[in-house]
Structures are given as structure tokens and as C-alpha cells.
Amino acid sequence: MRIDIFTIFPQMFESPFAESIIKRAQEKGLVEIHTHNIRDWATDRHKTTDDTPYGGGGGMVMKPEPIFAAVEAIKGEGKCPVILLSPQGRVLTQRVVEELAREEWLMFICGRYEGVDERVREHLVTDEISIGDYVLSGGEPAAIVVVDAIVRLLPGALGYERSALEDSHATGLLEGPHYTRPLEFRGWRVPEILRSGHHARVAEWRRRQALLRTLARRPDLLARAPLTAEERAWLREQGYEGPFAAEEGEPDGGEQAGAAGGNLERPRISR
């Protein structure tokens, strides 16, 4: 996979991409990450990348010309999603990360200040992503988050391949607890079942723990998670009163998941 990031602060990416899984993924040739300073495409003497807004008001707006020039220079005749990081984008979820991880080439534009000139959004960008309902001072930390979540899904990026499949959210549920040595720490013992060597029972226990944790902390996720009929019945016994998603083969709806599911991801803008 190739990733190009357009920013006026390329140094913000240096250390996050030079550590751990992202570093190793680059060394293994699984991903090639290039950061580009938008300022390099500014044509005036002062290398200006922002200007005051038409119509007045405070703050500065990122100018369109250097952003278009930068993206077009790198993209050439190639085709790939051009993603603007902004609090107005569709909200990042593990499903969105999985979708992006299937692409061969991605471009990210990091907005700054009050925003970018609307013509960038209208005529250059094909997708817009927010990492959550809060405002950062720029798209750079968001791009780091998105790239991290994508890269760890690339085959070979994690030492232990199954772990990405079992992650919180990959299954639609939160993960249950994990333990390592010592067996007893300050009088708190590791659950006996984990030492039983009985793989099927351990797997069953882990699944139940994941269901319980999700019920306690994020019951909204249960409305969308793929669950067996037995698990649904068990969750009812545990006190879950919310909706469940339609089961495969079931006519539309099953129990209505729409409201609690809140699955209102905007479709990608295709261009």
C-alpha cells in the first residue's frame, strides 16, 4: 500500500511513523508512507498557504492553489481516494478502517486553521473523515490515527495475525480481559479457566466475557454485532433489553436495530 499525506507540518509525522508497528510495516515493504509539505507548492515569495476568509470573520482559510498543485503533482494520472481529515467527515469506525485498508493507494489532506477553501472539498477530495465528535487544531493527529488503524490491518503487519481479527470492534464487540504472569498478584488470581488447557471452554469463556463487557460499557454495539440466537437469549437473561440486528436469512429488520444502531455512515463521494 502507498500512503501520501499532505500537510503544512510534516514533522508531526516523524516520530509516530518511526516506531513500533508502522515502522516495521514500512521496513517490511508492506506500506510506503510519504509526507509532503503543502508549502513547497506555494508560489509566492512568502510561501503562503492560508489567507483571510471572504465575507470577513475571524481566522484563516487554507488556500486552494498549493493543495491542488501538491495533490495533482503526486497523483499524476493515477487514481486513488483523496481523503480530507475534518470534523465534518464521516466518523471513523473499524468498518471504515477495513474499507480503507483494501485500497492500494490513499491520499490524506490535513486541514488547519478554520478550514480549507471549499473548492478543495468540492473538486479535489473524494472522501472526508472525522476521528470523532471533537475539534482538533488540525487534521495531522487524525491522519496519524487513521494511518495507524489501517497499517496494523495489512497482512503481515502484526506479529500475531489472529490478534487483529479478535480486536475490540473487529468482532463488533469489546474484548474481554487479558492476563499474563504472575498467576497471583497482590492476592488477585488469574481466572482458573484460563489455566485449564481446555481450548473450547476458554474460547467460550472469552466470548462470554466480551459480551458482558460490551453489555456493561457499550450496549449500543450489541444492536449491530453478529450474534447467535443462543447469545441473544443469554444477553436477555443478563438484562439486555435493547434491539438486535437482523440475522442472516431473516426478513428485513429482525428486531429493529436502526435507531440504536446509529449506522448512518455517509456514502463515499465517488469521483
Residues in 117-136 that interact with ligand ADE by CB under 6 A: 130-132, 134-136
SS3 call for 214: helix
Residue span 80-99 as binding mask against ligand ADE, x where in contact by CB under 6 A, dash where not? -----xxx------------
CB of 39 to ligand ADE, least distance (A): 19
Interaction between residue 214 and ligand ADE (CB under 6 A):
no
Nearer to ligand ADE, 140 or 211 (CB): 140
Q: How many residues sit close enough to ligand ADE to count as binding (CB under 6 A)?
A: 13
- Residues tagged active-site: 87, 114, 152, 167
Contact predicate 66/116, CB 8 Å: no
- DSSP 8-state secondary structure symbol assigned to residue 265: P
Nearer to ligand ADE, 95 or 206 (CB): 95
Distance CA 47, CA 261 (A): 46
Q: Which residues of 39-76 are buried (b: 16+ CB within 10 A; e: fewer)?
A: bebbeeeeeebbeeeeeeeeeebbbbbbbbebbeebee
Q: Which residues contact 98 (CB under 8 A, 6 or more apart)?
A: 153
Interaction between residue 172 and ligand ADE (CB under 6 A):
no
CB of 89 to ligand ADE, least distance (A): 6
Interaction between residue 106 and ligand ADE (CB under 6 A):
no
CB of 115 to ligand ADE, least distance (A): 9
Within a 13 Å sphere around the CA of 165, how many CA atoms are in the beta-carbon half? 6
**Bridging pattern class, strands 188-189 and 32-37:** unpaired
Nearer to ligand ADE, 134 or 188 (CB): 134
What residues does 50 pair with on adjacent strands?
62
Interaction between residue 7 and ligand ADE (CB under 6 A):
no
Give the residue, chosen from 5, 107, 142, 257, that forms a contact with ligand ADE under the rule CB under 6 A: 142
CB of 167 to ligand ADE, least distance (A): 21
Give, to the nearest 10 degrees, the angle between helix 140-151 and helix 20-27. 60
Query: Which stretches of the chain bind ligand ADE, using CB under 6 A?
Result: 85-87, 111, 130-132, 134-136, 138-139, 142
